[in-house]
Amino acid sequence: MIGIIVQLAVTWLLARIFEKKGLGILGLMPTKKRAGDFAIFFIVTAVCAAMGFIMRIYFGERWQLNPTLNAKLFAAGLWWNIKSVLFEELIFRGIIFYILIKRLGVRGAIIISSIAFGIYHWFSMEVWGDSLKMLIVFIMTGAMGSIYSYGYAKTFSLFIPIAIHLGWNFTNNFIFSEGQIGNGVLVAMKPAHIATVSWPVFLFVSYFPFICAIVINYWLLKRKTQVAEAD
């Protein structure tokens, strides 16, 4: 939490120095419209993320409710994901991204932010040195980062980027317990049931949910009215 506070302080300082503005450039002040957008984009993205696991269950994986799940564990998992999402959003869609939009335009800012986001995940996901994994991680996180960036550029608010980011991460990391913080809501049953599928099926199950999240969120954002500036 201290890290988030420091990020907000740095954001305020840079916003005052370079743009003569305050934290309003983040668009974090709650409004009815922003809350509605958050709900829509969070649910859409969470459903897309869950599709992959539903297909894996169809092909033989077995999952069960975590027997140790309680309100405290759920709150801790939710808070961990919120903090990690806020940390990344303030870095990659915060004041620096805002300045890039003003200096280079939306397209240039999105390209730079997406490239940086992809490179960052080489280290956060510990794939440095494995060329194939680095390429896959760069493409997937860079593409998702472009959607987060487009969400901010379209609304000048972090509500939608946070909603999409949190919907994807929370579902994968905690609802289906495939993140860095251990068991969440659902856990894989043991002994694991090994199912054999063809490569086309494996690739479909692995990447179709991600493609859906990108395409649907882009379509929803494309339909939104462009906000001229943070309000």
47-99 tens-digit pLDDT: 999 999 999 999 988 999 999 999 999 999 999 999 999 999 999 999 999 99
- Tell me what pLDDT residue 11 has: 94
Q: Is 165 exposed, middle or buried (0-12, 13-18, 19+ CB in 10 A)?
A: buried
> What phi and psi, each to the nearest 5 degrees, are found at residue 175?
-60, -40
Whole-structure pTM value: 0.94
- Convert the pLDDT of each residue in 17-26 to its tens digit: 999 999 999 9
Tracing tokens 């472009």 back to the chain, one arrives at 146
pLDDT at 181: 81
Average pLDDT over residues 122-138: 94
Of 33, 43, 56, the residue nearest 216 (C-alpha): 43
Q: Are 148 and 169 in contact (CB under 8 A)?
A: no
Q: Buried (b) or exposed (e) across 75-87, using 16+ Cβ within 10 A? A: eebeebbbebbbe
pLDDT value of position 230: 53
Residues 6+ apart with CB under 8 A from 224: 154, 155
